[in-house]
Amino acid sequence: MKTVQLGRTGEQISQLALGCMIMGTVTPEDESFAILDRYAETGGAFLDTADCYAWWERRGSLGGHSEELIGRWLARTGRRDRVFLATKGSAVVRDLDAVWAGGRPDWEVAYRTFVGAGAKTLRDAIDGSLRRLGTDHVDLYYVHVDDRATPLEETLEALAGIVRAGKARYIGWSNARTWRLERIRHLCAANGWPAPVALQQQHSYLRRRAGLRHVSIVDDEQLDYLAAHDDLTLVAYSPILKGVYDDTAKRRGHGVMEPYVGPDAEARLAAVAEVAAEVGVTPNALVLAWLQHQTSPAVVPLIGPRTLGQYEAALPALDVRLTADQLARLDAAGA
């Protein structure tokens, strides 16, 4: 497992991060522990979770399952000082009754009822996360969902207090527009507050379709911004889009493809299949390898395997060395 620098911090983080969102709910504890153990054996040390994971899997719950499971794994293994631990706050649901009124989680309602990034909310959230994780600090603390209803000054001052108190070493942001990042960085510089060192967004080899407005999927402007500001590292969630690169049937029927469908996606899927066959890996693994080859900006793919088998299927990506010609063909592909 190679490492990359986190922003300009000097901190070395695993180039392949492990997302723990469904551990303790969809993925039972024994298999979750097996995945975590195997990731550590592979040399991985970057774990990602959030306080809200995974409320939507258990009616009546506000989340916390993933953090609690990681806390038990850390206690069992004694690996806290060998793990770069990231969690997030601001996306716990405020009104569970409203969200579950139709018998299934209503995400439109959920998005309207997140607790947000107010100062007291974040201070309470980090304390709850630390308690569940069984540690006195996290290495990276994200604002999970950009909260435009709360003044940025309030959020940033609260985060500065969390860092000052030693409860988080660094801060990050997720699901944010580029103009918001620029405003955040300006306020941090003006007030002497710690600035974000990581941006977690949805990012893959496929490009979102023309005309789509989507706050969470990286676009060309955001890539350009990150390339010009290397103090921000891009952590790419859903890098293989739930495995659609390997599964033709899933591409036709899965909602994860909706932001990407069109001639551009078809051309890029064909390019991935061609280069993957040359290299001798699956298209999913090829996409992970391509992301790890990116340098401007550098990208840390964040995988979220449901099973140990899915984790093992990602490992060949670590050994892929793409040639300049293969990279050029992948980059040039598209409608």
pLDDT digits (tens, 9 = 90+) for 288-309: 999 999 999 999 999 999 999 9
For residue 73, is pLDDT > 90? yes
Given this model, what pLDDT does residue 252 score? 87
The residues, ordered by sequence, that sit 6+ positions from 327 with a Cβ below 8 Å of its Cβ are 290, 293
Q: Give the C-alpha distances (Å, rounded to integers) separating 109 from 58, 105, 257.
A: 17, 8, 22
- Report the C-alpha gap between 300 and 64 in whole angstroms: 24
Contact yes or no for 241/206 (Cβ under 8 A): yes
Which among 39, 2, 35 is positioned nearest to 300, based on CA atoms? 2
Query: For the chain, percent helix, then strand, then coil, each to nearest 5?
Result: 45, 15, 40
Structure tokens at 150: 């709360």
- Report the C-alpha gap between 23 and 155 in whole angstroms: 29
The residues, ordered by sequence, that sit 6+ positions from 125 with a Cβ below 8 Å of its Cβ are 51, 89, 90, 92, 115
Given this model, what pLDDT does residue 107 score? 95
For residue 49, is pLDDT > 90? yes
CATH class of 3-332: alpha beta
pLDDT digits (tens, 9 = 90+) for 195-208: 999 999 999 999 99
- Report the C-alpha gap between 327 and 272 in whole angstroms: 10
Measured in whole angstroms, the distance separating CA 1 from the mean position of its chain's CA atoms is: 18
Contact yes or no for 248/210 (Cβ under 8 A): no
Contact yes or no for 65/54 (Cβ under 8 A): yes
Band the pLDDT of 176: cuts 50, 70, 90.
very high
- Report the C-alpha gap between 34 and 50 in whole angstroms: 20
Mean pLDDT of 210-218: 94
For residue 253, is pLDDT > 90? no
Q: What average pLDDT is seen over the chain?
A: 97
